[in-house]
């Protein structure tokens, strides 16, 4: 599958740096090496070389490293030139390489070639990009796990189990005389149960990974003056939003990212929800509703000091304005300012929606809030063996599991074994999408197009 073009890109960060790494990949590497450093170095041995222009003058001096196909990142011949990391000196060397017949690489093109040449699968390629983009140490560790193939190995294992199951059933279809004895034993249902167990454990690890990668968007909403901005500042540990006792202080949407034990939390502070004739504030309220509709969780802040004291013990207190929240977005009602009413911090998890009593001013109840947000998405604080995962992986896992479920339903209902085998085939196909066995050009473009240049 080797591509005829030889590509070049700066693989280290652009700008000023101690070292600039220029990577060249493709069949033209031997001839290009002859042009720029006078010949191919011994594979995998660093060689101090002058990088030469067309007249044989030195453009820069540095290390040259050669990886012979197929033992390289891309699976093609690769030459790496490690020169000085000045913007101009890097440009001069890249220009010379273009002159020698390379073309500039597209974003992610080295990794795309690695994928097309079977050096890495799709989940591993995605993990490389996620490692580079990781925002926390936990996310980076999960990305390394996926990059090294742990996630793919688990998917492959699951696929093998499903293949076995299919083979078992297809044998029965091929020998209908033996069907009854062959399938009435419990071996089949045992195998099926093992497949479901494997799904559950992979889905849990992938769910953790997706949380580490994408985080949780928490929108702080409520009536004016309830203490929304105070809560944002308290969670961020910084004086980010303006806080005053004037209702309607916040109008713009304010965003701040914090981490809860490795879980990225995208906090959004919004304008207090109230009807208003002020055009600026009305726009703020409109934007607040927009944010609420996209939230993973809404913290609906209520000023506890303004509440009828009887409402506090009420299992279903009337909370003003809460009816304006859309159905389907998880909400927690946060009774703020408990310092004013002398109530203790408390989490009422059993209530629907859950209720939390805290004080943004004193900080009482903040630990309860943090734990509640983590528990709400099933985040495990401890290192959990997570694999970095994307929505597309979770989606494929879900579809695959559904196909196996459909197969199981057939087994318990009609015993139409052809349909059973067909559902298992669909499940395998969905799993194959994760590792990239089945991919469209669109998906390739989407995934590798979001990579850095030079990766």
Ligand X SMILES: Nc1nc2c(ncn2[C@@H]2O[C@H](COP(=O)(O)OP(=O)(O)OP(=O)(O)O)[C@@H](O)[C@H]2O)c(=O)[nH]1
Report the distance separating Cα 51 and Cα 24, nearest Å.
14
Nearer to ligand X among residue 370 and residue 425 (C-beta): 370
**Interaction mask 341-380, ligand X, x per CB under 6 A:** ------------------xxx-------------------
Q: Is residue 226 a contact point for ligand X (CB under 6 A)?
A: yes
Q: Which does 332 bind (CB under 5 to 8 A by kind): Mg ion, ligand X, none?
A: none
Q: Does the protein bind ligand X through residue 166 (CB under 6 A)?
A: no
Whole-angstrom distance, CA of residue 319 vs CA of residue 307: 9
Among 48, 450, 352, 398, CA closest to 200: 398
Distance CA 203, CA 141 (A): 18
* Contacts with 245 (C-beta within 8 Å, 6 or more apart), sequence order: 225
Q: Is 245 or 442 the residue whose CB approaches ligand X more closely?
A: 245
What's the closest the beta carbon of residue 226 comes to ligand X, in angstroms? 4
Query: Count H helices, E strands: the chain?
Result: 16, 13
| Site stretch for ligand X (CB under 6 A), options 3-11, 27-35, 46-54, 242-250 | 242-250
By CB under 5 A, what part of segment 248-277 binds Mg ion?
A: 249-250
Q: Is 229 in the site for ligand X (CB under 6 A)?
A: yes
Which window, 56-64, 100-108, 240-248, 413-421, contacts ligand X (CB under 6 A)? 240-248
Nearest to 340, CA basis, from 233, 237, 230, 254: 230
Three-state secondary-structure class, residue 51: strand
- Least distance in Å: CB of 256 to Mg ion? 13
Out of 152, 225, 374, 428, the only residue in the binding site for ligand X (CB under 6 A) is 225
For position 117 contacting Mg ion by CB under 5 A, the verdict is no
Single residue of 62, 75, 227, 454 touching ligand X by CB under 6 A: 227
In the set 83, 272, 354, 436, which binds ligand X (CB under 6 A)?
272
* CA proximity to 80, closest of 119, 130, 127, 44: 44
How many residues bind Mg ion (CB under 5 A)? The answer is 4
The closest residue (CB) to ligand X is 272
DSSP string, 107-174: TTHHHHHHHHTTSS-HHHHHHHHHHHH--SHHHHHHHHHHHTTHHHHHHHHHHHHHHHHHHHHHHHHH
Residue 280: is it exposed, middle or buried by C-beta count within 10 angstroms (0-12/13-18/19+)?
exposed
Tokens of 210: 């997706």
Q: Measure the CA–CA gap between 438 and 325, rounded to whole angstroms.
A: 41
Per-residue interface string for the shown chain with ligand X, residues 325-344, x marking contact by CB under 6 A: -----------xx-xx----
Q: Is residue 229 a contact residue for Mg ion (CB under 5 A)?
A: yes
Q: Would you tell me which residues interact with ligand X (CB under 6 A)?
A: 224-230, 243-245, 247-250, 272, 336-337, 339-340, 359-361
Binding stretches for Mg ion (CB under 5 A): 228-229, 249-250
């Amino acid at each position: 599958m080797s591509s005829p073009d030889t590509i070049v890109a700066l693989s280290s960060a652009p700008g000023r740096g101690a070292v600039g790494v220029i990577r060249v990949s493709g069949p033209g590497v031997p001839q290009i090496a002859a042009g720029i450093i006078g010949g191919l170095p011994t594979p995998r041995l660093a060689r101090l070389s002058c990088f030469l222009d067309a007249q044989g003058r030195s453009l820069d001096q540095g290390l040259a490293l050669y990886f012979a196909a197929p033992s390289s990142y891309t699976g093609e011949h690769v030459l790496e030139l490690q020169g000085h990391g000045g913007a101009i000196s890097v440009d001069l060397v890249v220009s010379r390489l273009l002159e020698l017949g390379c073309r500039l690489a597209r974003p992610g093109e080295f990794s795309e070639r690695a994928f097309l040449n079977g050096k890495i699968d799709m989940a591993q390629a995605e993990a490389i990009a996620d490692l580079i983009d990781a925002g926390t140490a936990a996310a980076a560790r999960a990305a390394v796990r996926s990059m090294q193939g742990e996630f793919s190995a688990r998917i492959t294992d699951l696929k093998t189990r499903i293949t076995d199951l299919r083979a078992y059933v297809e044998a029965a279809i091929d020998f209908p005389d033996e069907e009854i004895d062959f399938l009435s034993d419990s071996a089949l249902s045992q195998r099926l149960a093992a497949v479901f167990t494997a799904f559950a454990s992979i889905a849990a690890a992938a769910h953790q990974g997706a949380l580490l990668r994408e985080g949780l968007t928490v929108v702080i909403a409520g009536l004016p003056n309830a203490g929304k901005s105070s809560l944002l500042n308290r969670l961020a540990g910084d004086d980010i939003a303006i806080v005053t006792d004037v209702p309607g202080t916040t109008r713009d949407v304010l965003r701040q990212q914090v981490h809860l034990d490795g879980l990225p939390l995208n906090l959004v502070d919004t304008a207090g929800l109230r009807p208003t004739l002020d055009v600026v504030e009305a726009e703020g309220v409109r934007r607040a509703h927009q944010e609420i509709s996209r939230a993973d969780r809404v913290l609906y802040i209520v000023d506890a000091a303004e509440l009828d004291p009887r409402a506090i013990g009420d299992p279903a207190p009337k909370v003003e304005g809460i009816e304006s929240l859309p159905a389907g977005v998880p909400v927690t009602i946060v009774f703020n300012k408990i310092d004013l009413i002398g109530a203790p911090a408390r989490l009422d998890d059993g209530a629907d929606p859950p209720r939390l009593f805290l004080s943004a001013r004193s900080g009482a109840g903040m630990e309860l809030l943090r734990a509640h947000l983590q528990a709400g998405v099933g985040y495990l604080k401890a290192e959990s063996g997570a694999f970095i995962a994307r929505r597309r992986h979770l989606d494929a896992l879900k579809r695959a599991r559904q196909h196996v479920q459909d197969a199981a339903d057939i087994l318990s209902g009609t015993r139409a074994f052809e349909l059973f085998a067909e559902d298992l085939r669909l499940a395998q196909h969905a799993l194959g999408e994760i590792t990239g066995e089945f991919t469209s050009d669109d998906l390739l473009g989407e995934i590798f197009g979001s990579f850095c240049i030079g990766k």
